[in-house]
Structures are given as C-alpha cells and as structure tokens.
Structure 1
Amino acid sequence: MLKLLKGLSRYKGTIILIFALVFIQSLSDVYLPNLMSDIVDKGVVNSDTNYIINTGFKMILVTIIGGIVTVTASYFSSKVAMGFGRDLRNKVFEKVENFSLAEFNQIGTASLITRTTNDITQIQQVLMIMLRMMLYAPMVAIGASIMAIKKDAKLSLIILVAMPILIVSIALILKRAVPLFKSMQKNVDNLNRVLRENLIGVRVIRVFNKVEVESKRFEGASFNLCDVAIKANQTITLLMPLMMLVINISILAVVWFGGVRIENGSMQVGDLIAFIQYLAQIMFALMMLSMMFVMIPRASASATRINEILDMNQTLKDKEDALKETNMKGYVEFKNVSFSYEKDSEKVLSDISFISKPGETTAIIGGTGSGKSTLVKLIPRFFDTTEGEVLVDGVNVKDLNANYLREKIGYVPQKAILFSGSIFENLKYGKDDASIEDVEKAIEIAQAKGFVDNMENKEETIISQGGTNVSGGQKQRLSIARAIIKKPEIYIFDDSFSALDFKTDKELRKSLVDETKEATVILVAQRVSSVVDATRIIVLDEGRVVGIGTHKELLDTCDIYKEIVSSQLSKEEM
C-alpha cells in the first residue's frame, strides 16, 4: 500500500492544504465543548444572559468555520483520491498494454479487469477516508484527551482504561478480517471469469443445452463470494456493538463518578457536560480510526494485487539501445528457432529455420497443434524465442524497438477482432491518416465491398461490441482490409481465410497478389488451396519442420503434406 501511495507526490500541495483544513476542523470541534462548559458554569449559574448570548455567538461562528473547512477538505480529498485512482488506472493499463501473451496468460484476463476496476476503486475509497481521518481522528482524540484531563484529571482515568480495551479489540478483529478480505478479492476474480466465459460463449452454451449447468456454475462462484463476504462483514460488524458497549459504559462511569465529584464540590456541572462531550469525541475518533482500519485490509489486499502487475518483469522489454531503423525492408529469417511457453516445459517449436524475402509468399501448413500460429507470433515479438533467433531486416527482433518492429507488420489474427465503432474507424486502426478513398480501396481488395455497400450507412456503419452484427467471414475480410490499409513491409495472415467460402478465398488471394507484390507475405492456412501458389510451403508436424518446398516438390518429398493434400483435393486437382 505504501509503495503505491508514493504516487501522491504530485498532489503534495493539495494534501498539505487538506491537512491544514483538517487541523482547523479538529481545533473547532475540540473548542466547542469548552464554550458549552463556560455557558453553563459562568452564564447559567450566574444568570448572566449577555455572557450566554456572546458565548453562543462564538459557538455559532466556530461551527460555521468548522463547517466550511470540513466541506472544503472533503472536496479536495475527493479530488486527490479520484486523481490518484485515475493515474494508477492509467499506469496499470499502460503496463498491461506492454505485457507479452505469456504475462496475460499468467494473470488471466478476468483478474486483470478486476484489478484495474474493483481493486483500484477500493484503494480510492480508503485514500479518501485516510486524507480526511488520518489527521483528524488522532488530533481530536489527543486534543479531547488533553481538554478532558484539564477539566478533571482523576475522572480521565476512565478514558485511560477504556482506550486500551478498544484498541486491543480492534487489533484482534482486524487480524481475522484481513485474510477474509484477500480471499474475497480472489472470489471476485473467479466470479468475473465465469461471467466472462458465459457471455462470450453464450451461443455454444445454448446450442448444447448447458444453460442450467452454467447457471449452477455461476451460482457456485456467486455463493462462494457471498459466503466469504458474509464472514468478513460479520467479523467487522463485531466492532460497532463492542465500541458502543465500551462508550456507553464509559459515559455511565463518568456520569456516576462525576456526580459524586460535583456533590463533593470538586467539579462543576459545566465541566461534567464538557467532559462527557470530550469522552464522546475520543470514542468517536477511535470509531472513525477503526472504520479506516476496517477498509485498509481490503485496500491492502487490492494494493498487493496492483503491485503484482506493476512489479511484474516484462519479458519483452525494449533494450535501451534498441534500433529504430534498419537498412533493409521486409526480410524475415528464422535461425534454429525453438520455443516453449514455460521454462523446462516441452518445446512447442524445435529448430525452425527459413528465410522469406519481399515479393515472396511463405505458407505454413500442418495439423492442429503443430505450432503454426505460435511460429508467426514470434515475428511481431508477442513471445520471445527460447533458442535461436528471429531476424527482421537482418536484425534480431529482441534488438529492435517494439513499436518500430510492429510498424513494419500487418497482422491478421486467427480470431478476427473488431472494436466498437464504425467500419471506417476500425480500418483506420491500420493507418491513422487514412482517407475515405484508402478505406474504400482496402475494402475492395479484401472482397468486403459487396456486404459493406449493402449496409445502410456503408463505411460509417457501426460495429457492435465484439462485432456481433457481422458474420465470421465479414469480420475476417474487414480484419484483412485493416492490414492492407497499413501497407506494411510484412504481411502475416494467421489462418485468416478459414471463414471464407472457396470462391471468396480465391478472389481475395488473387486481389492480394498485386497489393503485396513488394511485401513479404507469411501465411498460415489449413486449406491446401490457400497455399498451392506460395513461393515456399513449410510443413510443420509437432513443432518440427518436416518439409519445405513448392506444392509440386512437397507432393514428391513430404508424406505428411501429401496426406493433407489427398484429404482435401482429388487426384486431378493434386
């Protein structure tokens, strides 16, 4: 928690102002019972109406000042807390944006969402209370204690007995509450994960009649969170009755012994009234501190989770001397590349070597799980190689600036992704300054003109969240158009034609020939028809290259390729 709070340094001036305002507020609150004591002892007892009125006006003035500084302090506290939350959220988002896919998999999408939203909100709330109460509650407690001792030192022994009892009780309750709040945040993660899976997979759930099964799974996650939350809140709710019990017994003791001291002439009535108010202020200050301590454990658990993200070592971090310029354009080379997702785990890719140059198309084909998609993800450096080198323009991708490297690449992922917004805005992702003519041309090349022109608003048609208002094939074509508009040096198509019919697939590949003739094209495909015209075809099997060559060469030299071809094409087509 303290590590995160270092980010408050930019709000130093505002925080000093808040503390000054809180200081004035605490002084006004402590001063009021003393004025009340004077009214009773000097005004009421002596029947001095003028003194009562004058002191009453003083009390009103002190109350007004206290009210103004309280509202002002609350305003600035909210401003600092919200600003800090915004800064922290941006910091976490920027860090996550630079994560490799390995780091995403390590934490999980659902947990990242919870940490960026719920966890930071918890920290914001605690910070707001801390700015208001961290100085106010101790000052009131100390100030009220001094004033109470000043009024009657012997009667103050009751406070000295009550305070340790409260402090020990708070400590014991918090010791049990902290682990429960940590567990609570993990259960929030789990609930988010289940909900996200259900929302994304709603069609699959319905078609397999698993709505009831998923409902029970969601209920289970929800009840787990509910149970932990109930235990945590039950533990915390013990504080309030315990504190009220101690406060009421203390007031009863003060009234009892105070009455005896008044009867003996050792104390005045006004002083007893002020003493009771000071006792209430002390107990109220401790109550506020306890409520702050109630929220701190949960915020502390949230802060730990945020720090896990901020402290995570980025495996794909740019070197300080990373190159931002190369002499060549579009050259890709794999040199004895091996890769595994985790250290000492089984290799997904083993000893891959090939070169792809501008004007060439390198196609990668193989069975499911052979490592095709993993291989192309090494080029934009979504992962780092375990062994060997991936070179772009003759330079190891680890030595290139990541932004510069990815600027060279037009990547179309296996699962087409569109963002909420218009088609025009989605395609401008590839080129910020793209004109409507650039967009129309890219749409035409990607064979998307037919369905885009049939839409009411054409390029300005709004794509819903997740692209649910367009089909899988339409999403793929728009994703391809987004890469085309970028005019990159290297095109990577990761099984990007799988949702297209054979006719559209053929026309799209034909239109891409002219568009990509000066670029390097690396194509992952399942269909043989998509790779037959490639400059070279790489056949993968269990992460190893079992054949490299043209379509005709591989039919003669590679049995696995021949099996793939024979399963899709007739002898005449072969």
Structure 2
Amino acid sequence: MKALCTNFRGYYPQLILGPLFKLLEAVLELMVPLLMANIIDVGIAGGDRAYVLRQGLFLLLLAVLGVAAATTCQYFASVAAFGFGASLRRQVFRHILSLSGHETDAIGAGSLITHITNDVNQVQNGVNMFIRLATRAPFLAIGSIVMAFVLNARIALIFLISTPLIVLVLYQVMKRTLPDYARIQQRQETLGTLTGQNLEGARVIRAFSRQESEKKDFAAASDAHSALTIQVGRISATLNPLTYVIANFAILAILWYGARFADRGLILSGDVFAMVNYMTQTLLALIVLANLIVQFTRAAASAKRLSALLATESSIRGESVPHTREQSAFLAFEQVDFSYAGPAGKNTLEGVSFTAEQGQTIGVIGGTGCGKTTLANLILRFYDVTGGRILLDGQDLRSYPLESLREKIGYVPQNVKLFSGTIRSNLQLGAPQADDDALWAALTTAQARDFVQQKPEGLDTPVEEGGKNFSGGQRQRLTIARALAKRPSLLILDDSSSALDFATDAALRRALKQDTGGMTVLLISQRASAVKDADRILVMDEGRLVGQGSHEELLQTCPVYREICVSQKLVPQANPESEVSAR
C-alpha cells in the first residue's frame, strides 16, 4: 500500500482540513435539536415571539455555517481525491509501460485496462468518501447517543437497545454482500476482456459469421454479472426497511415514555422532540457508515489489486555498464535459447547463432510459428533470452539501458499501429526533432511520399485512431517511414510489406538498399522474393536456424529454403528423375 500512499504528496493539507470541516458540520448538526427544544420549551410554551425569532435566526446561521463547512470539505475532498486519482493513474500507466512481455502476457490486456480505469476509480472514490464522511458518520452517531443521555439518561437507554439492533442488521447485510462485491468486480473484468476482444476482432467475427455466437457468450457473461448484482441489490434492499422499522419502534418508545415522563414533570416536551431527532440522526449516520464500509471494501479490494500490480517487477532490467566490445560483428546471436513460458517451458528458439555486420541486410524467412518475430522481440528486449546471449555493437543487450538500446533500433511490427494525431506527429514519434526534409526523405524511401503529397494538408493530414482512415498498405508504408525517420543503426522490418503489391514491394526494397547505407537491416518476411537479394538469408524452422547464406547458396544447401522458393514459384520444381540421378 505504500506505493499508493506516495500519491498523497501535495494533498496533506486537504486530507487534514477536509475531515475537520466535516466534523464542524456534524457539531453544528448536533446543536440543532437542542435549539429546537428551547424554541418549544421557552419560546412557544411562554408565548415569546421575540425568543422564537432570535432562535430561528440562530438556526438559520447554523444552517449557513453548516453549508459553508460542507462545501469547504467537499472542495478539499475533490482536490485531494481527484488529484490522488490522477497521480495514481499516471503511476500505474508508467508501471505498465515498464513491464516486459512476460508480465503483460501473464496479466492480460483486459486486466490491465481494468486496473487503470475501474480500480483507480474505486480507490479515488474511497478517498473522496473518507474525507467527506469517515469522521462525520461515527461522530454523529456517537454524539447523538451522548446528547440523548445528557437530556434524559433513562429514556436514552432506548438508544442502547435500538442502536445495537440496527448495527446487527447492518452487519448481517454486509456479511452477505461484501464477498459478492469482489465477485462483481471480477465479472466486470471479464466483461471488459470480452468487449475488448470483440472490438479488436470485429472484422474477423463478421467474416466468419460468428456474431450470434459472440453475442451468446457476451450475454452469458452479462447475465451472470446482472444476476449477481441483482442478488446483492435484493439483500441490500432489506437494509433500509429493517433499520427504519427498528428506528420507528425506538421513536415510538421515546414518544411513549417521553409523554409519561412529561406528565410527571420529569422531562420537557422540547427535550422529547430533541431525542426523536437524535434517534433519526443516529439511524442515518449508521446507514451512511454501512455504505461507507461497502465503499471502503471495494476501494480496499481495488487498492490490493493495484498494489500487487505495482509490486510486479519487470523481468527485464536495463543496466548501465562500461562499454566493452566483446564481438567484432554489429549484431550477434550466440547459442540463443528462448521460451515464452520461462526457462522451464518449451523452447521457441533453440541454439540460434548468427552475426550481422554494419550495413548488411539480413533476410529472415521460415514458416508460420518458426520464431522469426521472436528474434525481433529479443533484440528489442521485449523479452530476455533464457539461454545464450545477444550482442549489439559488441555489447551484451542486457548491459544497455533500455532507452539507449531502443534508440539504436527502428522497428516496424507485423501489426502496424498508427496513433491519433497527424502524419507528422506519427513520423516524429521516435524522432521528435526531425524536420520536414527528414520526414519527406523517410516517406520517399518508404514509398509513401506520393499519397501523402496528394493529401491537401500533407504532413498535417489527420490520422484517426489506429490509422483507420488509411488503407493497410498506406499504414505499413507510414510505419516504415516512422522507423526510418529516426535514422537507426539497426532497422527491423517484421513482415512489413505484406499488404503491399509486388511492384510497390520491389520499389521499397530497392529504395531501402539505396537509402540505408551504413544501416543494418533485419528483413523478416514469408515472401522469398522479399529476402532473396539480402546479403545473407537466415532460414528458420521450428525454432532452429537450419540454414544461412545467399539465395543461390541456400537453393543448393537448404531443403527448407528451396521448398519455400518452389512453393512460391520463385524457382522451378526439380525433376524427380534428375534428383534420383544426383543421388
């Protein structure tokens, strides 16, 4: 919880003054029944209109002061709670960005979204309610009982009987509902995950006509959430009737014994009226206290979840150590093993070794699931190797500060992502200082200059969320330009031309070869035509490097590569009879 409490810095005055002003309001509220009793016993009983008027004006003053105190408390509560919430949300967001792929995969995107939205809101609301009511409700309940004893100790015994009964009802209701509130939060998280999956995969769902199936799954989850919420609501709905029955019987008892005592001159009529008011105040304060406990329980559950998230440390650490060159090659894999499940899991990569010199273009090809993208993930340190090591510019990747490492790398992922803003803001994502000339040069190399120039606003053309106002090929070319704009030492293109036609793809490869002098390029593709002109080609198969060399060498020495080329009609299929003769 300490990690969460650091977000209160700067709001300590509000945390102290807010409850004090609410306490002042409660004190003023406790004075009202006494003033009303005096008006009845002195002013009305004695026919003293001036006294009634004076006391009425005093009541009005108390009301004004109470409103002022409550408003001041509400202001302090809002400043502290929303300031705390904003700071906590930023802290959680920063922490999520610091996590490696292992942690984000384990937690899940849906849970992370729930943490940063629902959980933060619950804790924020808990802070708000604490400042506003945590001191007022118990003080008002206890104060009302004390004031009743001051007026008449014998009648006040009714408070000692009714109050525990009300507390017992509150306890029984909360005992049954509090565990369900935690389950409701879990089911909200499930609904959020389902919603995210359906929105992200909406086109796939439509393409396979799975709308009805997805609707049923969502309806089942929604119905389960609704059923539990209704169940909790039904139990909670008994709270007010039961407590009011007890309070009303207590008020009847106060009136009954108050009337009898008043006949005997043991109590004044105004005091009986005041005691009825104190009973009402006690009831309302206890109900508020019960709602506070429910709110605090929800906030505590969310705070616990957030604390667990903030306590989760990234398995990837960036170290800053003296640069000691251990390898002459610019990029080197040395017997690299990797498993997404950790050292104990099945290897996705096994015994991968290769080198790339400065300025070389290295092609990577292989079937689906062979580990091509994993190579890129390891170089960027989204994950760390489970065996062996990777060196960049002669230094182990794990010895680089993460920011310094990623400044050297330009990356174009398989699933391209553009952000809301403009073409300019997207291109400057990795190169904030890049001027227009540099941006246009990157667009030219990425074969995107023509369609951007056709836009009336050019570089300032708006980009909608995810780049949905551009075609798939245009998005890919813009993300390639974004990677080129930062002029990286290492450019990783992960199947980044899959949406391009062959002519544009060929033009892109020619431009990359001409314009990326001195830049090492790792070109990952499933198209043999995309990698055949690379200085060296790496052939992956089931997590192993089964061949490396030039296009011509691999056709002769690597059956896997030749099979890929034949299947893509890049080379003719060998004559079976000639193969037998060769054997």
Same fold per superposition (TM over 0.5): yes
1:68-96 deviation digits (Å, cap 9, x = unpaired): 11111111111211111111111110011
* 178 and 395 in structure 1: CA distance in 2 versus 1, 3 angstrom threshold: farther
Distance in 1 (CA, whole Å) between partners of 2:329 and 2:261 is 95
Distance in 2 (CA, whole Å) between partners of 1:14 and 1:24 is 15
Distance in 2 (CA, whole Å) between partners of 1:8 and 1:329 is 51
User: Per-residue deviation at 1:324?
Assistant: 8.6
Distance in 2 (CA, whole Å) between partners of 1:573 and 1:464 is 46
Mean Cα displacement is larger for which, 541-550 or 114-123? 114-123
User: Per-residue deviation at 1:142?
Assistant: 2.0
* 458 and 204 in structure 1: CA distance in 2 versus 1, 3 angstrom threshold: same
Q: Does 1:554 align with 2:547?
A: no
Which residue of 1 is the match for residue 116 of structure 2? 116
Distance in 1 (CA, whole Å) between partners of 2:500 and 2:114 is 36
Helix, strand or coil: the match of 1:155?
A: helix
User: Per-residue deviation at 1:10?
Assistant: 3.1
Q: 8 Å contact 2:337–2:351 — kept in the other structure?
A: yes
User: Per-residue deviation at 1:217?
Assistant: 2.2
Which residue of 2 is the match for residue 219 of structure 1? 219
After superposition, residues 119-130 of structure 1 pair within 5 angstroms as 119-130=119-130
Mean Cα displacement is larger for which, 43-52 or 239-248? 43-52
- Displacement over 6 Å in runs of 4+: 324-330
1:257-283 deviation digits (Å, cap 9, x = unpaired): 111111222111011111111111111
Which residue of 2 is the match for residue 79 of structure 1? 79
Which residue of 1 is the match for residue 135 of structure 2? 135
After superposition, residues 102-501 of structure 1 pair within 5 angstroms as 102-319=102-319, 322-323=320-321, 331-343=330-342, 344-501=344-501
User: Per-residue deviation at 1:7?
Assistant: 3.2
Mean Cα displacement is larger for which, 511-520 or 234-243? 234-243
1:527-568 deviation digits (Å, cap 9, x = unpaired): 111111222211111111111212122122211111111111
Distance in 1 (CA, whole Å) between partners of 2:5 and 2:346 is 42
Distance in 1 (CA, whole Å) between partners of 2:454 and 2:564 is 38
Which residue of 2 is the match for residue 519 of structure 1? 519
1:340-385 deviation digits (Å, cap 9, x = unpaired): 1113221101111112121111221111111110111101100011
Helix, strand or coil: the match of 2:336?
A: strand
Q: 8 Å contact 2:14–2:79 — kept in the other structure?
A: no
* 570 and 65 in structure 1: CA distance in 2 versus 1, 3 angstrom threshold: closer
* 184 and 326 in structure 1: CA distance in 2 versus 1, 3 angstrom threshold: farther
Q: 8 Å contact 1:330–1:490 — kept in the other structure?
A: no
Distance in 2 (CA, whole Å) between partners of 1:188 and 1:133 is 27
Distance in 1 (CA, whole Å) between partners of 2:12 and 2:173 is 33
Distance in 1 (CA, whole Å) between partners of 2:100 and 2:262 is 75
User: Per-residue deviation at 1:126?
Assistant: 2.3
Aligned-residue Cα RMSD (Å) equals 2.0
Identity %: 38
Which residue of 2 is the match for residue 11 of structure 1? 11
User: Per-residue deviation at 1:3?
Assistant: 6.6
User: Per-residue deviation at 1:296?
Assistant: 2.1
Q: 8 Å contact 2:528–2:570 — kept in the other structure?
A: no
Helix, strand or coil: the match of 2:248?
A: helix
Which residue of 2 is the match for residue 27 of structure 1? 27
Gaps of 5+ in 1: none
Distance in 2 (CA, whole Å) between partners of 1:329 and 1:22 is 70
Which amino acid letter does the alignment assign opposite residue 413 of structure 1?
P
Q: 8 Å contact 2:329–2:394 — kept in the other structure?
A: no
User: Per-residue deviation at 1:330?
Assistant: 8.7
Mean Cα displacement is larger for which, 437-446 or 164-173? 164-173
User: Per-residue deviation at 1:323?
Assistant: 4.0
* 437 and 398 in structure 1: CA distance in 2 versus 1, 3 angstrom threshold: same
Q: 8 Å contact 1:365–1:539 — kept in the other structure?
A: yes
Helix, strand or coil: the match of 2:154?
A: coil
Distance in 1 (CA, whole Å) between partners of 2:233 and 2:242 is 15
Which amino acid letter does the alignment assign opposite residue 351 of structure 2?
D
Q: 8 Å contact 2:328–2:394 — kept in the other structure?
A: no
TM-score with structure 1 length normalisation?
Answer: 0.95
* 373 and 100 in structure 1: CA distance in 2 versus 1, 3 angstrom threshold: same
Helix, strand or coil: the match of 1:383?
A: coil
Distance in 1 (CA, whole Å) between partners of 2:456 and 2:133 is 58
Distance in 2 (CA, whole Å) between partners of 1:219 and 1:455 is 44
Distance in 2 (CA, whole Å) between partners of 1:570 and 1:522 is 21
User: Per-residue deviation at 1:570?
Assistant: 4.3
Distance in 2 (CA, whole Å) between partners of 1:142 and 1:318 is 56
Helix, strand or coil: the match of 1:353?
A: strand
Distance in 2 (CA, whole Å) between partners of 1:519 and 1:541 is 27
1:130-160 deviation digits (Å, cap 9, x = unpaired): 1111011111122222111000111111111
Helix, strand or coil: the match of 1:45?
A: helix
- Number of aligned positions between the proteins: 572
Q: 8 Å contact 1:330–1:489 — kept in the other structure?
A: no
* 557 and 441 in structure 1: CA distance in 2 versus 1, 3 angstrom threshold: same
Distance in 1 (CA, whole Å) between partners of 2:129 and 2:53 is 36
Mean Cα displacement is larger for which, 302-311 or 523-532? 302-311
* 170 and 329 in structure 1: CA distance in 2 versus 1, 3 angstrom threshold: farther
Q: 8 Å contact 2:442–2:482 — kept in the other structure?
A: yes
Which amino acid letter does the alignment assign opposite residue 373 of structure 2?
S
Which residue of 1 is the match for residue 567 of structure 2? 567
1:460-519 deviation digits (Å, cap 9, x = unpaired): 222221222211111111110000100001111111111111111111111111322211
Distance in 1 (CA, whole Å) between partners of 2:222 and 2:452 is 42
Which residue of 1 is the match for residue 42 of structure 2? 42
Q: 8 Å contact 2:372–2:540 — kept in the other structure?
A: yes
Q: 8 Å contact 1:349–1:543 — kept in the other structure?
A: yes
User: Per-residue deviation at 1:210?
Assistant: 2.2
Distance in 2 (CA, whole Å) between partners of 1:3 and 1:87 is 11
Helix, strand or coil: the match of 1:447?
A: coil
Q: 8 Å contact 1:421–1:464 — kept in the other structure?
A: yes
Distance in 2 (CA, whole Å) between partners of 1:377 and 1:289 is 52
1:45-82 deviation digits (Å, cap 9, x = unpaired): 23333322222222221221111111111111112111
Q: 8 Å contact 2:566–2:572 — kept in the other structure?
A: no
* 329 and 86 in structure 1: CA distance in 2 versus 1, 3 angstrom threshold: farther
Helix, strand or coil: the match of 1:378?
A: helix
Q: 8 Å contact 1:102–1:383 — kept in the other structure?
A: yes
Mean Cα displacement is larger for which, 375-384 or 287-296? 287-296
Which amino acid letter does the alignment assign opposite residue 503 of structure 2?
K
